[in-house]
Amino acid sequence: MIDSSAAWLALSSHQQSVGTLHLRNLFAQDPDRFRKFSLEACDLFLDYSKNLIVDDTLPLLLRLAEEAQLEARIAGMFDGEKINNTEQRPVLHVALRNRSNRAMFVDGKDVMPEVDAVLAQMRTYSEGIRSGAIKGSTGKSITDFVNIGIGGSDLGPLMVTEALEPYRSEHLRAHFVSNVDGAHLGAKLKTLDAQSTLFIVASKTFTTQETLTNARSAREWMVAKLGSEAAIAHHFAAASTNLKATHAFGIPNDRVFAFWDWVGGRYSLWSAIGLPIAIAVGMDRFEELLSGAHAMDEHFRTASLARNLPVILGLLGVWYGNFWNARCHAVLPYDQSMHRFTAYLQQLDMESNGKSVTRDGESLGFASGPIVWGEPGTNGQHAFYQHLHQGTTWTPADFIFPLATHYPMGEHHRMLMANCLAQTQALMQGKSADEVRSELIAQGLKGDALERLISHKVFPGNRPTNTIVLPKLTPRTFGALIALYEHKVFVQGSIWGVNSFDQWGVELGKQLANRILQDAQSGSVSEEHDCSTRGLLGKSMLQPPG
Ligand code: F6P
């Protein structure tokens, strides 16, 4: 396993030697740090100078990548090898955004003609909805569309549709329903007119309990409102790999947008699952998103490891998780339209690398994927940044900032920028007891009152951050940014030797929920359950659901 490699051992001893250094001093000693530890590709600029690294650190991390045969793993993904070994599938979301004329193969067959055919179908349909040429069953144009999906069939399209809000059509409202809690669909239905509403049922498997339950309820609502089963064909579309099931649901084939089992759920926004994005911002914009991601794919595939953005980000995460015991990673976009970005990354990262065994099933003797969390700045500053600055555990963080805004208004954007830079500066340099003392004296404090306050106002600093700057949040730059994180997660999984593309950890809860649901439906509590589950289930049975 990788933790017995020479590079791992060398990194462990390197950590001992740099563990006592302070970022503030490293910056003071080396005015060239920003130039040395920054990198630009695909319009994204990464400043990684505020990390706990010295000149020797990256070469050691790159040795680790070599020992993990990272380059071969990257090539294996692009070549369509079955790197998702527990499901015996290739992992080819990169084919969905392959804007070159290069063929990409699954089992010896070029998948690009099929990919392009679905993109063409998405173009025709999304343009028809946007122009009003495709109408509802009573002849009204579509004004509202509701994506019904969950996990990757929700988070990706929702997050992108929100982020690209400035590009959205004003006469089409986008809605997303995911939770099986009837409050999600129920509250939404109250606001909709059935005659001008389209439901898109998005499910890779078309078996997911939440999605099918919401879709069936939406169907019943539609039939009740429009008084005919025939209306369903006009008001439902689907994105799925399970064409039998979409047919059985009653969705006509020309409104079913296919994709393939080599697209992982959390990597599917580039496929037909992206239909809501195409309807919201137009197919040209959707294709720009694909182009941005493709540019990042090409960078990832061809740049040397030392000049490779996803590789550098991935290795820095390994550095903190495995050699500094950091357990979390925060992603803090200074862009309100990216407010669902971190939620999306939680699935991307935690479903991919929240694993305890290697590809071959051996127990990992070290930490794998971190807990990912975060919220946009500046809101987060007034909520959890206290912990980032003075908490007893520390969290490496990515700050993301677009240089230009879609909403130039007074001083807003300059203030946003100043806050973003100030936070990374504060986390890096901190504030010493001497500095606090001088400040308090200047404010006129003295004696006990002064001494009592000092330790409360000290900031340890030395807390590492990356800053990712984009020129402006456009479909293209955003596509590149999302792909950057996808590949970063793959880099880390490759170093740890885990399969980043299965998700067996979600299965047990699904199985047990079905058993408990059967009990709740039959009204009898099975003795098979533990006493806590029996007690709680018994309580829920005493309460009528409505
Ligand atoms: O949560 C498990 C999961 O399988 C995710 O990986 C997936 O994105 C989600 O459920 C939804 O699955 P589907 O698209 O098949 O409905």
User: What is the Å distance from ligand 1's center to 397 Cα?
Assistant: 27
Q: What phi, psi does 504 have (nearest 5°)?
A: -65, -25
User: What is the Å distance from ligand 1's center to 62 Cα?
Assistant: 34
User: What is the Å distance from ligand 1's center to 508 Cα?
Assistant: 14
pLDDT at 405: 98
Helices (H), 144-282: 155-163, 182-189, 209-226, 232-235, 243-249, 275-281
Q: 524: burial class by Cβ within 10 Å (0-12, 13-18, 19+)?
A: exposed
Ligand 1 pocket check: which of 153, 178, 259 to mutate, most ligand atoms within 8 Å of Cβ?
153
155 CA: nearest ligand 1 atom: 8
Cβ-based neighbours of 397, under 8 Å, separated by 6 or more: 329, 330, 331, 332, 374, 388, 427, 463, 464, 465, 466
pLDDT at 340: 98
One-letter amino acid at 156 equals: G
Bridge partner list, 371: 328
Q: Are 32 and 38 in contact (CB under 8 A)?
A: no
**Torsional sign, CA 406, 411, 414, 420:** negative
pLDDT at 260: 97
User: What is the Å distance from ligand 1's center to 148 Cα?
Assistant: 12
Ligand 1 pocket check: which of 344, 503, 507 to mutate, most ligand atoms within 8 Å of Cβ?
503
Helices (H), 303-374: 309-323, 341-345, 352-353
The one catalytic residue in 382, 411, 527, 539 is: 382
CA angle 517, 222, 250 (to 5 degrees): 75
Give the residue whose CA is nearest to atom 6 of ligand 1: 265
Kindly report whether the global pTM for this prediction surpasses the value 0.85: yes
Q: How many CB atoms lie within 10 A of CB 14?
A: 20
Which DSSP state fits 274? G
Please name which of 156, 88, 154, 157 lies closest in space to residue 126, comparing C-alpha atoms.
Answer: 157
pLDDT at 101: 84
Chain-centre distance for alpha carbon 274: 14
Q: Is 487 a catalytic residue?
A: no
Cβ-based neighbours of 545, under 8 Å, separated by 6 or more: none
Q: Which segments within 348-394 are labelled E, that is strand?
A: 371-373
> pLDDT digit of tens for each residue in the chain (546 aa)?
999 999 999 999 999 999 999 999 999 999 999 999 999 999 999 999 999 999 999 999 999 999 999 999 999 999 999 999 999 999 999 999 999 989 999 999 999 999 999 999 999 999 999 999 999 999 999 999 999 999 999 999 999 999 999 999 889 999 999 999 999 999 999 999 999 999 999 999 999 999 999 999 999 999 999 999 999 999 999 999 999 999 999 999 999 999 999 999 999 999 999 999 999 999 999 999 999 999 999 999 999 999 999 999 999 999 999 999 999 999 999 999 999 999 999 999 999 999 999 999 999 999 999 999 999 999 999 999 999 999 999 999 999 999 999 999 999 999 999 999 999 999 999 999 999 999 999 999 999 999 999 999 999 999 999 999 999 999 999 999 999 999 999 999 999 999 999 999 999 999 999 999 999 999 999 999 999 999 999 999 887 777
pLDDT at 543: 78
